[in-house]
Amino acid sequence: MVRTAGDLADGPTETEDQQYGDHSTPLARAAEHILRARHGVQLGPTLHRPEATRVVVVANQKGGVGKTTSTVNVAAGLAQLGQRVLVIDLDPQGNASTALGVDHRRGVPSTYDAVVEGAPLAEVSVPCPDVDGLMVVPATIDLAGAEIELVSVVARESRLAKAIKGHPLVGSAAEVGDERFDYVFIDCPPSLGLLTLNALVAGEEMMIPIQAEYYALEGLGQLLETVEMVRQHLNPRLNVSTIMVTMYDARTRLAFGVAEEVREHFGDQVLKTTVPRSVRVSEAPSYGQTVMTYDPGSTGALCYLEAAREIATKGAPS
Ligand code: ADP
Ligand code: MG
């Protein structure tokens, strides 16, 4: 089953009814999300926190498929649902940093310092100004050099893993307590180089955004081969937990066909919620915001909130 923006507007399913209580009309949901976004108000039941930090790698070597957009909006959505979230910007372009409203000019403490220089992650993260409970490690253009600089460094593919493990707020409830991060999201660059490899070694879960267009599945084979290689040699715990169909245009047969094909390939890994193509989603970054605060009542924001809820409810793969 594919759940589109249209279905969201049609109203809740039975399980959603249980989750939201009886004020679950589309309008009520939009109103609820606006309140959450503006005032941090928690309405309805809060999500359960995972027992231990879930480290999610957002990767697809194809550019422009919605990695960054999905990272920042799902992360913000989870934070708005009461989770504690860290986003690590691993793309030298720094688009996630821009969307989350944090400074990423050359010279600010950044992912580069953590990955290349070995600086503690906690010292290079800053709060997202618009979303409570969301921290960000910004990426500066220095990171562009890391791809080459790392080649000659010891344990070059496990630098990020070490930085994340060393963060005092990453771990299980028993080890770290209530202050722990529930989620760490890593926004990868559009390549399968050493930076992405570092992310794949650092995470247990992978989220792959797929754009609902004709060439969507092209290149995925190469990505999955890389994942298999990493599983065999570097990180046996890595799991493709989430496939997210983005920029879905419900009016076209093509988008529907692509979504069906993705579902045939990946089954339950595919989120029921698809993210529609939406102008509000694409213009939010130019205001240094995610769509979750820029226009919390918009369809794009509500779909990302649903996606966030789905990811949280599904839980970590075991
Ligand atoms: P990636 O990180 O994979 O390169 P981005 O998240 O930066 O991809 O998205 C590529 C472009 O598509 C950006 O300009 C972004 O604003 C736009 N975009 C992403 N998702 C949507 C959407 N749901 N609706 C409209 N535009 C989108
Ligand atoms: Mg990106």
Cα 45 to ligand 2 centroid, rounded to whole Å: 32
Domain ranges of the chain: 5-11+31-36+50-314
DSSP 8-state symbol, 57: E
Cα 71 to ligand 2 centroid, rounded to whole Å: 9
pTM above 0.85, yes or no: yes
For residue 258 and ligand 1, the question of a CB distance below 6 A is answered with: no
Average pLDDT for 164-176: 97
Ligand number with the minimum distance to the CA of 96:
2
Ligand number with the minimum distance to the CA of 97:
2
Q: Supply the pLDDT for residue 250.
A: 83
Q: How confident is the model at residue 224 (pLDDT cuts 50, 70, 90)?
A: very high
Query: Is pLDDT at 116 greater than 60 in this prediction?
Result: yes
The tally of CA atoms less than 13 A away on the side-chain side of residue 200 is 29
Region 5-11+31-36+50-314: CATH code: 3.40.50.300
The set of residues, in sequence order, having a beta carbon less than 8 Å from that of 221 and lying 6+ positions away, is none
Q: Supply the pLDDT for residue 24.
A: 66
Q: Supply the pLDDT for residue 30.
A: 84
* Alpha carbon distance 294, 266 (integer Å): 32
3 state DSSP class of 144: helix
Q: Supply the pLDDT for residue 17.
A: 44
> Which residue's C-alpha comes closest to atom 17 of ligand 1?
282
Nearest to 260 by CA among 317, 201, 316, 217: 217
* Alpha carbon distance 180, 21 (integer Å): 29
Minimum-distance ligand 1 atom for the alpha carbon of 95: 7
- Looking at the chain, how many residues does it have? 318
* Alpha carbon distance 61, 79 (integer Å): 27
Rg, C-alpha atoms of the chain: 18
Minimum-distance ligand 1 atom for the alpha carbon of 65: 3
3 state DSSP class of 102: coil
3 state DSSP class of 197: helix
> Which residue's C-alpha comes closest to atom 15 of ligand 1?
282
Q: Which residues surround ligand 2, an ion (CB under 5 A)?
A: 67-68, 95
Minimum-distance ligand 1 atom for the alpha carbon of 71: 6
